[in-house]
Structure 1
Amino acid sequence: MRISSLYRKMNAVALINELGSVAAAMENNPAFKNGVPQGVSSAAALLTAREKVRFTHEAASTHDSVKIKERKAAEGEAVKHLDSVAAFYQLAAVSDPNVLLYTGFTPAPTRKGEPLLSMPQGLAIYQGPVLGSAAVTVNHLQGVMLWELQVAEGDLSLERNWRPHIFTVGDPMIINGLTVEREHGFRVRGYNRAGAGPWSPPVTFTPK
């Protein structure tokens, strides 16, 4: 299993989303449990690159040739950041293949013979054990190795509002630190060696 390099062919909007997704995944991936090695871009560097791509993309909407050149330069810089993270994941996977199960990179199309995961069913949210927490359950899905649970506060249509949490199959899915008496959105998808499956429909819950 290798990391997809689809980000190299993405337009500016897709690249902005990719940078955010990869940066969020770095916070939970075991490859970075001892920090970010020298020469590998940090999550903060990816988010800075994302904002630069966003800014230059908006500026280039005027079709000014100078602004378009600046946007292309920002996109090239962003790809270099993603390259450094992708290369480190591949190196880390030699000793721990599980680091490739959740990287935030858009997966390549599934190869023949690798089963596609179906949409998770039965997502349910309950009041958690402490103030501002939630307990989450979902029906068993054959072949799932990891669950990615995302929680959003505010406008659920904005991708930047969703925050990822990773759980190994069998571990209780407990989310802490939620805003009390504020409605949150929850969605979940599974991962197997073919990559990520589809998201479940969002479910809302207001923690107490």
Structure 2
Amino acid sequence: MSISSAYRKMTALGLINELGSVAAAMENNAAFKNGVPQGVSSAATLLTVREKLKYTHEAASTHDSIKIKERKAVEGEAVKHLDTVAAFYKLAAVNDPNVLLYTGFTPNQPRRGELPPVIPQGLAIYQGPVLGSTAVTVNPIPGVLLWELQVAEGDLSSERNWRPHIFTVGDPMILNGLTVEREHGFRVRGHNRAGAGPWSPPVTFTPK
């Protein structure tokens, strides 16, 4: 068994999931029982970069070349941080191979027979806790790690109008800053180790 370098070829969404899963694994892995060594990125650092990547990924959906470059830069930053953790795990495994049993790193290949998620069902939109906000729910799908929620104002047939928001499964899907008294379109798809599933049919809602 060895640490996979699959994260080096991941998209922004893949890296968002990888940063979260590796950070979570670090909290309980025996390799870090004495703390995080100098030169190795901490779980807190990985989570900070994860939030930064989520933000730049959403901003890059406008197809602005500058925003895309910013996202690419953060992707490179994420890989460098993951490299430090992977290198330390490899070093620690010389004395204790068991540290590799649970690291949070994705295998190079998806699990045999695993397919992308099915079409999400039960997408529902509710008025959120503050003005111009919504709360979104969808029926659970086994194996889904991330929800990609897109929102559009205006012509729903134009892909340029859809803006992405990324949520880890289990996190509340709350959107703020929506235009009050204007109809919005919402759609969602799940992501698992095998990739992205199909979009749900759009649902419309007018925030108050």
TM > 0.5 fold call: yes
Q: Secondary structure at the match of 1:187?
A: strand
Rounded to whole Å, the distance in 2 between the matches of 1:137 and 1:168 is 13
Question: What RMSD, in angstroms, separates the aligned Cα atoms of the two structures?
Answer: 4.1
Distance 1:34 1:172 in 2: 15
**Alpha-carbon displacement from aligned partner over 1:156-195 (angstroms, at most 9, x marks no partner):** 1112211111111111111111101100000111111222
Q: How much has 1:99 moved relative to structure 2?
A: 9.9
Amino acid at match of 2:165: H
Whole-Å Cα distance in 1 between the matches of residues 166 and 133 of structure 2?
Answer: 16
Deviations 1:50-89 (A, max 9, x none): 9xxxxxxxxxxxxxxxxxxxxxxxxxxx9x9987666554
Q: Aligned AA for 1:186?
A: F
How far is 1:33 from its partner?
5.4
* Distance apart, 1:113 and its partner CA: 2.8
How far did residue 117 of structure 1 move? Answer: 0.9
The number of residue pairs the alignment matches comes to 148
Please tell me whether the aligned partners of residues 31 and 92 of structure 1 are also in contact (alpha carbons under 8 angstroms): no
The corresponding residue for 1:129 is: 129
Identify unmatched segments of 5+ residues in structure 1: 6-20, 37-41, 51-77, 101-108
Counterparts of residues 44-83 of structure 1 (less than 5 Å):
47-48=64-65
1:162 corresponds to 2:166: no
Residue 128 of structure 1 aligns with an amino acid whose one-letter code is G
Aligned equivalents of 2:65 and 2:185: distance in 1?
26
Runs of 4+ in 1 over 6 A off after TM superposition: 80-85, 96-100
The residue that corresponds to 2:185 in the other structure is 185
Residue 54 of structure 1 corresponds to none
Whether the 8 Å contact between 1:132 and 1:176 is mirrored in structure 2 is yes
> Does the Cα contact within 8 Å between 1:110 and 1:116 map onto a contact in 2?
no
TM-score (norm 2): 0.55
Partner of 1:119: 119
> Percent of pairs identical after alignment?
59
Q: Counterpart of 2:64 in 1: which secondary structure?
A: helix
Q: Corresponding residue for 2:176?
A: 176
Deviation at 1:206, TM superposition (A): 0.5
| Letter of the structure 1 residue corresponding to residue 128 of structure 2 | G
Q: 1:139 to 1:88 in 2, by over 3 A?
A: same
Structure 2 unaligned segments of length 5 or more: list them.
Answer: 1-5, 20-46, 54-58, 87-102
Q: Call closer, same or farther: CA 1:161–1:203 in 2, change over 3 Å.
A: same
Distance 1:82 1:135 in 2: 27
Does the aligned pair in 1 maintain the 2:12–2:75 contact within 8 Å? no
Residue aligning to 1:200: 200
> The residue matched to 1:160 in structure 2 has which SS?
helix
Aligned AA (1:151): V
State the one-letter code of the partner of 2:169.
Answer: V
- For the 8 Å contact 1:187–1:201, the answer to whether it is kept is yes
* Structure 2 CA distance for partners of 1:191 and 1:33, relative to 1, 3 Å: closer
**Are 1:149 and 2:149 matched, yes or no?**
yes
